[in-house]
Amino acid sequence: MPHNNTFNHGEVAAYGDYFRVSPSGGSAVNYLGLGGRVGFNVFRYGALEAEMNYDFERNNTTISTNGTGTTTTFTARIRPITGLFGPKFQIGSTGPVRAFVEGKAGFIEFSTNCNAPAGSGSCFANSIGGFGGNSTHFAAFPGGGIEFFAGPIGLRMEAGDEIWVNNGAYNNLRVTFGPSIRF
């Protein structure tokens, strides 16, 4: 039987990601994606982690009416990419079941593919304005979760509030689930 600290140096993981975005002035959009993370323990109950995830494109439709009563519909395929870094603190155990809290900071980038009418020049401004435009923003992720391990192989579940900042803070639910390997 390996010593308790044999698999307590670091962790690599892949995960599935559910991200519920609530843009300003619009209804919530649910994204699914994939990601990966790596963490290195800096002491028995704490690690530094870096993670990045890619959420698959979703359509976002915006209907705009100008002062003359002309209505225009814009549809853009929006895709967020997130990169975060920060500490994870275990609560209590170093055994096979671990609860943890974490606080990470980094970026979220929204990019689009747009099918606005040719020459309109207003696709990005009108269709993704609620997301803060086609750009990169500061993001923070306070959250927590639980890990289950059998030797070096485990499963990790976490949930939290992914907040991005662009002329105010936007709070969004994020949940991840996937396998981990400790070393």
Residues 37-68 pLDDT 10s: 999 999 888 999 999 999 887 766 555 566 66
Pairwise pLDDT comparison (1 vs 22), residue with the higher score? 22
Helix ranges restricted to H, 22-158:
123-127
The DSSP result for 22-61, as a single string, is: --TTS--EEEEEEEEEEEEEEETTEEEEEEEEEEPPEEEE
> Which tokens belong to 157?
């579940």
All structural domains of the chain with their residue ranges: 10-182
Q: CA dist 15 to 8, 90, 127, 175, Å?
A: 20, 19, 30, 10
Pairing state of beta strands 29-43 and 10-21? antiparallel
In whole angstroms, what is the distance from residue 175 CA to residue 133 CA?
24
Residues 134-150 pLDDT 10s: 678 899 999 999 999 99
pLDDT score of 135: 77
Instruction: Using CB atoms within 10 Å of the CB of residue 37, give its burial: 0 to 12 exposed, 13 to 18 middle, 19+ buried.
Output: buried
Nearest C-alpha neighbor of 32 from the set 43, 47, 20, 17: 17
* Reported CATH class of domain 10-182: mainly beta
| Confidence at 22, pLDDT banded by 50, 70, 90 | confident
In whole angstroms, what is the distance from residue 128 CA to residue 29 CA?
12
Given a cut of 70, is residue 173 above it in pLDDT? yes
| Confidence at 132, pLDDT banded by 50, 70, 90 | low
Q: Which helix (H) or strand (E) holds 87?
A: strand 71-91
With pLDDT > 90 as the criterion, what percentage of the chain qualifies?
46
DSSP 76: E
| pLDDT, average across residues 94-123 | 76
| Confidence at 79, pLDDT banded by 50, 70, 90 | confident
Given a cut of 80, is residue 85 above it in pLDDT? yes
pLDDT score of 166: 83
